Copies of this chain bind each other. A is one copy, B any other.
């Protein structure tokens, strides 16, 4: 049970050599809630940081049934066949209300799972969206240091996770189906506005015509959206992940995006903003954790929450009392 931990340098050396076993062990530390593991993980991350960043980070979202796994496999194999290395991560917080089947199962990406150039890691399952997102972001850094210079972050396109994914990726790809209004697909307008590329999947067989029609409709729709800070004009394309058609065009879009935004400075500006965002996120998450995990606060919180629930105390007075208690404890 008491699995032996390695030294920081052993993990870091392994990661930099691309050792998939040591990478996985380090990611397990990132995902652990034990404080010793967390400290070790942070040291590993800091040492990997100078070797990270040389990548393109792609967020991929879409509701269940849109064919995300097949799509990721098709685009992933396209990359690995070109000799590229790819890591596939996911954000799937257990707290999300609407659940889709997401990546828990490597068998859904059989080809990629057995591909030496691909690293698939299911979403850390426990914790809040904020916690899961932070862990995923830290995992990105480790994967990049291990040489995976293409990072896919998968999420189910129905909840709050898209904002988290958007905060850690360079490019946001939204998978859609033809013949279903976006309302029916549960996609919020805000998510469509985030997309750098809308891809209509399952454009094969008798579905091709419908997909082409949908492409025109979505192109008209996205022209009405406000211009992006990136200067990039979002596009709509069709593909068949199953038949592996349209995949190259999609990759060209991503490459064009990268070229254009590196040239106009947006690519690294956005990464800087993301880094700052994550600094604030980490601070605020830890401030809360320190507070709520304090044994005396735990006890008092239960009591005062009960007062609030039974109308004996206002929310504000209860909060103030807890905060006063806390400031005296420290």
Contact = CB atoms under 8 A, between A and B. Distances in A.
A104 to B, nearest CB: 24
A318 interface: yes
A299 to B, nearest CB: 15
Contact of A287 (B190, B275, B288, B311): B288
A46 B275 CA distance: 41
Interface residues of A, number: 45
B315 A279 contact: yes
Nearest to A191: B188
Nearest to A42: B316
Interface of A is mostly: helix
A72 interface: no
A175 B282 CA distance: 39
A107 interface: no
Interface hub of A188, A279, A282, A327 (most chain B Cβ within 10 A): A279
Contacts of A279: 304-305, 308, 315-316, 318-319
A323 B283 contact: yes
Interface string A291-313: 10000000000001100110100
A317 B286 contact: no
Contacts of A316: 42, 45-46, 138, 278-279, 282
A284 interface: yes
A273 to B, nearest CB: 9
Given A188-B190, A279-B308, A308-B279, A42 B183 contact: no
Contacts of A40: none
A265 to B, nearest CB: 14
Nearest to A98: B226
Contact of A305 (B49, B276, B284, B309): B276
Given A286-B323, A291-B287, A323-B286, A276 B308 contact: yes
